[in-house]
Amino acid sequence: MDLGGNMSHELRVLCLNAGSSSLKLALWTMAEREAALGTAAVEGIGTARCRLWLRGASGQPVSEAPLVLTDHASAVHALLDAVDAAHWPTPQAVGHRLVHGGPNHAAPELVTPALLSALRELVPFAPLHLPAELAGVEAVARRFPALPQVACFDTAFHRHMPELAQRLPLPRALWDVGLRRYGFHGLSYEYVMQTLGPAAMGCTVIAHLGNGVSMVAVRDGQPLDTTMGFSPSGGLMMGTRSGDLDPGVVLHLLNSRGYDAAALEHLVEHEAGLLGVSGLSADMQTLLAARDEKPQAAQAVALFCYQLRKQIGAFCAVLGGLDNLVFTGGIGEHAAAVRAAACSGLTQLGIELDPQANEAHAAIISRAGRSGVVRVVATDEARMIARHTRTLLAAD
């Protein structure tokens, strides 16, 4: 592919974000003004519900259709074919979100054969995510061998936490082979911090609430602790993930309930969290609508919000105070009832919501005059990937 153009003035970056059964794509132009040129996705890869959709620069639907795709490599080619058919501008670089960088990758890196080899060694750290993400990198390389690719690690933001926060209470030999608390959602947290700028100084807790859920404690721009640990399954309860479990529960399931490793993995990844407690749905909007009629839905929402509220208090202790509480992610940005319940009873920490501002999803939803400012920030991981790609290639 002809890279064309002057990268010092403009760089068109194709951003890829692979999930276990989905692949999201966004094309950004990075110049004096950052602008999204379009978004696309394949959802339900490997299932009967697989579909591909495209949207234009302003989010307007361009096309949507069902299709049959069995793996992420074919999904990459299907998306690129759809983008070509829509006559999007030719990208000059590709940035990838990679869920795990292990102990040795703490910043975005140019994709090279050596990096790919190192990342394949990390697959046991993130077996549900890394294979699909690496398949996407390799598919782009086969289609566009001259196109520079940049790997952006979701763990990188947290690699600067104090060692005490990264340590697991396990034998030291296991630390030496990479068993530690890594943390995730780092690209989202980076974007929120850049968006807030000087307002993020002091003691800040950011809650990324989506299908995946985590929090981070940041003081003067430096992460001090986070909820997710060795894997994205740890920490707070999520849509279908359990979050942290007593190790005794795991041992009991293995020893007394007939579970093997595969069944246990399916339980904690796909049958737990909001879905498991409610017995109804992993979708917060569905549960909020049903909670007046279905006690299990109400209990799932209440447990979710209780864990959030408890973690805010814990991170306040880690930080030594609380100047900012930030909600982001699909639930964090759109579920006023969740924000209200999570902040209920936190007046001694300086947190009190303005109900009208909260219902309106305002940028600041706390009452004036309180010491803790509560904010809602729309995250944008694709834009963060594009920024990292531009920065790395400009320095190369």
Residues that are catalytic? 154
Task: Tell me how crowded residue 319 is: count the other CB atoms within 10 A of its CB.
Answer: 19
Tell me the C-alpha to C-alpha distance, in Å, between residue 140 and each of 3, 30, 88, 149, 167. Answer: 15, 20, 17, 9, 36
Give the Cα separation of 287 and 278 in Å (integer): 8
**Which amino acid is it at 320?**
G
139-144 contacts, C-beta under 8 A, 24 or more apart: 139/72, 139/73, 139/76, 139/77, 140/16, 140/76, 140/94, 141/111, 143/76, 143/77, 143/80, 144/1, 144/94
Q: What are phi and psi of 309, to 5 degrees?
A: -60, -40
Beta carbons within 8 Å of 171's beta carbon, 6+ residues apart: none
Question: Whose CA is closest to 78, among 7, 145, 22?
Answer: 22
Could you give the CA distance from residue 281 to residue 273 in angstroms, rounded to a whole number? 10
* Count of all residues that appear for the chain in the document: 396
Q: Which amino acid is at 356?
A: Q
DSSP assignment of 321-342 equals: S-SEEEEEHHHHHH-HHHHHHH
Environment class of 132 (CB within 10 Å of its CB; exposed 0-12, middle 13-18, buried 19+): buried
φ, ψ of residue 250 to 5 degrees: the values are -60, -45
From the number of C-beta atoms within 10 Å of its C-beta (0-12, 13-18, 19+), residue 51 rates as: middle
